[in-house]
Amino acid sequence: MLRYFAIRLGRAMITIALVVTFAFIVLRMSGDPAQIIMGPEAPPEVIAAFRKAWGLDDPIWLQYFHYFGAILQGELGRSMRDGRSAIELVTERIPVTLALTLPALAIKIGLGIPAGIYAALHRGSLADRVVMLLSVAGFTIPSFVLGLTLVLIFAVKLGWLPSGGQDSWRHAILPVITLGIGGAAVLARFTRSAMLEVLGQPFIRTASAKGVPWRDVIVGHALPNAAIPTVTIVGFMIGTLIAGAVVVESVFSWPGVGRLLVVAVANRDLAVVQCILLLVAATMVTSNLIVDFLYGFLDPRLRQNAGKAS
C-alpha cells in the first residue's frame, strides 16, 4: 500500500517538473520578455539593463537551472512588472477564484448527479429526453457564449444583476451559473450512462430476485457501483477549481487567478505564469491522488490489488 502511494507521489512530482519545464520552454520561445515588458519604444540600454537584472543574458540552460533550483527552495520569483513576490500575487487571487468555482462545483454535483440518476431511472421518458437535451446544450455551448447570453438577458435587458466586477455576492451569481451549468451537463450525461450500465448488470436482477424493494436496489446496489466512474469526472472538476475559470473570469471581469494568468501571459510575466502553472499542475495532481484514494474506497477490487502489492 505504502509503495503504491510512494510511486504515485513520485509520478506526481515528475508531472509537475514536466509542466514547469514545458512552461519555461514555451514562454522563452514565444518572445523576448524584456522587449514586451519595457515596450517597443524602450531604448536598447534600458532593455539591456533589464535583461541583466533578470538574468536573461545567461545561457538558456543556466536560466533553466537557476529557475529549477529556486523552485526547489520554494522561491518562485518576482513579478517582472511590479517586483512583488509571484507567490503572493497568486495566493491572494486564489480565494477570489474559489468564491466562483466552489459554488459552481456544488451546482455541478447537486444538479448534474441527481439529473443523471433521474434520467437513467426513467429512460426514454419525456424527463429523460429533456435532461439529455439540456445536457447536450450545456455541453456544447461554449462558456463565453453562455456567459454573454446571461449578461445580455439578466444584466442588460432585465437589469436584475450586475454584468461584471466583484463588489458583492450578487456579482457572483451569473459567473457561478455559467460555470456550473456546463459542468452539470457533463456530469449528468456521465452519471446517466454509468447508472444505465450498472442497471443492466446481472447483480441488479439478483437483488430484485431476493426481494429487495426497487428503491433499495437503486440506493444500496446501483448507486455505489455507478459512483465509481462518476468519481473520475468529479475528481477532474476538483482539479479545475483553481484555473478552470479563465474564460468566465474574463467575461465577467472577475479578478481571480484566471484573470491574473491572462494578464501575465499577455505581459510575458514569466514568474507569475510559471507560478500559476505550477499551482494548476499541483491541484490536478492532487485531485488525481484523491480520485485514486476514492477508487480504493469505492471499489474493493482495486483495494485488494493495491493491498497485495505492498
Partner 1 sequence: MATTTQLSLSGLTVSFDGVTVLHGIDLAIGKGEALGLVGESGSGKSVTWLAALGLLPGKARVSGSARLDGIELVGARPETLDKVRGGRVAMIFQDPTSALNPVLKVGTQIGEALSLHRGLSGGAIKAEAKRLFDLVGIPDAERRLSAYPHEFSGGQNQRVMIAMALAGEPDILVADEPTTALDVTIQAQILDLINAVRREMGMALVLISHDLGVIAETCDRVAVMYAGRIVEEAPAAQLFAAPRHPYAQGLLHSLPPLGGARRKLVSIPGVVPDPRSLPKGCAFAPRCTEMSDACLAATPALRSIEMGRRLACVLEPQSASQRQFEAA
Partner 2 sequence: MSAALLTAKDLSRTYGSRRGLFGVITKVRAVNRVSFSIAAGETLGIVGESGSGKSTMGRMALGLEPPDEGEVRFIGQPIPASGTPAWRTQRARMQMIYQDPLGALDRRLPVTAQVQEPLDIHQLGDSANRPQRAQEMLARVGLSVEQMGRYPHELSGGQRQRVVLARALMTRPDFLVCDEPVSALDVSIQAQVVNLLVELQAEFGLAMLFISHDLRVVRQVSNRVAVMYLGDFVEEGDADDLFAEPLHPYTRALVSAAPVTQRMPGHQRLVLKGEPPNPANRPGGCSFHPRCPFAVERCRAETPALVSVDQGSGRRVACHLIEPSASTLRKAA
Residues in the site for partner 1, rule: CB under 8 A? 201-203, 205-214, 220-221, 224-225, 228, 298-301, 304
**206 binding partner (options partner 2, partner 1, none; Cβ < 5 to 8 Å by kind):** partner 1
**214 binding partner (options partner 2, partner 1, none; Cβ < 5 to 8 Å by kind):** partner 1
What is the 3 state secondary structure string of the chain?
A: CHHHHHHHHHHHHHHHHHHHHHHHHHHHHCCCHHHHHHCCCCCHHHHHHHHHHCCCCCCHHHHHHHHHHHHHCCCCCECCCCCCEHHHHHHHHHHHHHHHHHHHHHHHHHHHHHHHHHHHHCCCCHHHHHHHHHHHHHHHCCHHHHHHHHHHHHHHHCCCCCCCCCCCHHHHHHHHHHHHHHHHHHHHHHHHHHHHHHHCCHHHHHHHHCCCCHHHHHHHHHHHHHHHHHHHHHHHHHHCCCCCCHHHHHHCCCCCHHHHHHHHHHCCCHHHHHHHHHHHHHHHHHHHHHHHHHHHHHCHHHHHHHHHHC
Does the footprint of partner 2 cover residue 170 (CB under 8 A)?
Answer: no
**203 binding partner (options partner 2, partner 1, none; Cβ < 5 to 8 Å by kind):** partner 1
179 or 217: whose CB is closer to partner 1? 217
C-alpha span between 194 and 230 (Å, rounded): 7
Residue 228 beta carbon to partner 1: minimum distance, rounded to whole angstroms: 8
161 or 212: whose CB is closer to partner 1? 212
Does the footprint of partner 2 cover residue 215 (CB under 8 A)?
Answer: no
224 or 307: whose CB is closer to partner 2? 307
**21 binding partner (options partner 1, partner 2, none; Cβ < 5 to 8 Å by kind):** none
Does the footprint of partner 2 cover residue 52 (CB under 8 A)?
Answer: no
**300 binding partner (options partner 2, partner 1, none; Cβ < 5 to 8 Å by kind):** partner 1
Q: Which region among 34-42, 65-73, 209-217, 299-307 touches partner 2 (by CB under 8 A)?
A: 299-307
Question: Quick one: 159 exposed, middle or buried, by C-beta within 10 A (0-12, 13-18, 19+)?
Answer: exposed
208 or 304: whose CB is closer to partner 2? 304
Residue 4 beta carbon to partner 2: minimum distance, rounded to whole angstroms: 6
Does the footprint of partner 2 cover residue 308 (CB under 8 A)?
Answer: yes
Residue 229 beta carbon to partner 1: minimum distance, rounded to whole angstroms: 13
- Give the per-residue contact string, 2-21, with partner 2 (x = CB under 8 A; - = no): -xx--x--------------
215 or 308: whose CB is closer to partner 2? 308
Residue 200 beta carbon to partner 1: minimum distance, rounded to whole angstroms: 9
Does the footprint of partner 2 cover residue 228 (CB under 8 A)?
Answer: no
Residue 193 beta carbon to partner 1: minimum distance, rounded to whole angstroms: 17
Q: Nearest-CA neighbor of 17 among 86, 61, 68? A: 68
Residue 236 beta carbon to partner 2: minimum distance, rounded to whole angstroms: 21
Q: Nearest-CA neighbor of 90 among 247, 252, 243? A: 243
Residues in the site for partner 2, rule: CB under 8 A?
Answer: 3-4, 7, 304-309
